[in-house]
Amino acid sequence: MSDTTRSVSAYLEEHPRMTGALFMILLLLTQAGNTAAAMMGTNAGP
Protein backbone atom coordinates (compact mmCIF):
# COMPACT_ATOMS: atom_id res chain seq x y z
CA MET A 1 0.00 0.00 0.00
CA SER A 2 1.11 3.52 -0.64
CA ASP A 3 1.67 6.15 2.03
CA THR A 4 -1.52 7.95 1.01
CA THR A 5 -3.61 4.82 1.47
CA ARG A 6 -2.08 4.21 4.87
CA SER A 7 -2.66 7.79 5.99
CA VAL A 8 -6.30 7.72 4.85
CA SER A 9 -6.95 4.41 6.55
CA ALA A 10 -5.23 5.66 9.72
CA TYR A 11 -7.35 8.82 9.65
CA LEU A 12 -10.54 6.79 9.25
CA GLU A 13 -9.52 4.55 12.14
CA GLU A 14 -9.10 7.63 14.34
CA HIS A 15 -12.39 9.19 13.12
CA PRO A 16 -14.93 6.38 12.56
CA ARG A 17 -17.85 8.77 11.99
CA MET A 18 -16.04 10.16 8.96
CA THR A 19 -16.38 6.74 7.28
CA GLY A 20 -20.15 7.10 7.31
CA ALA A 21 -19.95 10.68 6.09
CA LEU A 22 -17.68 9.71 3.19
CA PHE A 23 -20.00 6.86 2.26
CA MET A 24 -23.00 9.20 2.22
CA ILE A 25 -21.15 11.80 0.14
CA LEU A 26 -20.15 9.18 -2.42
CA LEU A 27 -23.71 7.84 -2.50
CA LEU A 28 -25.12 11.32 -3.16
CA LEU A 29 -22.54 11.98 -5.88
CA THR A 30 -23.48 8.71 -7.56
CA GLN A 31 -27.15 9.66 -7.49
CA ALA A 32 -26.40 13.14 -8.82
CA GLY A 33 -24.40 11.65 -11.71
CA ASN A 34 -27.25 9.31 -12.61
CA THR A 35 -29.74 12.18 -12.46
CA ALA A 36 -27.57 14.39 -14.67
CA ALA A 37 -27.21 11.59 -17.20
CA ALA A 38 -30.96 11.03 -17.24
CA MET A 39 -31.59 14.74 -17.78
CA MET A 40 -29.21 14.82 -20.74
CA GLY A 41 -30.90 11.77 -22.25
CA THR A 42 -34.33 13.39 -22.47
CA ASN A 43 -35.40 15.06 -25.67
CA ALA A 44 -37.59 18.13 -25.35
CA GLY A 45 -37.96 18.50 -29.10
CA PRO A 46 -41.12 19.29 -31.04
Q: What is the 3-state secondary structure (H, E, C) of 6-26?
A: HHHHHHHHHCHHHHHHHHHHH
Alpha-carbon distance of 22 to 7, in angstroms, equals: 15
Predicted local confidence at residue 44, as pLDDT: 66
Predicted local confidence at residue 5, as pLDDT: 74
Q: Which long-range contacts (CB under 8 A, 24 or more apart) does 25-29 make?
A: none
- What is the distance of C-alpha 41 from the center of its chain? 22
Predicted local confidence at residue 20, as pLDDT: 93
Q: Is residue 31 part of a domain?
A: yes
Q: Is residue 37 part of a domain?
A: yes
Taking the alpha carbons at both ends of the chain, their separation in whole angstroms is 55
pLDDT in tens, 1-46: 567 778 988 999 999 999 999 999 999 988 888 888 777 766 666 6
State the total domains in the chain: 1
Q: Is residue 28 part of a domain?
A: yes
The range of the structural domain enclosing residue 34 comes to 3-41
Q: Is residue 46 part of a domain?
A: no
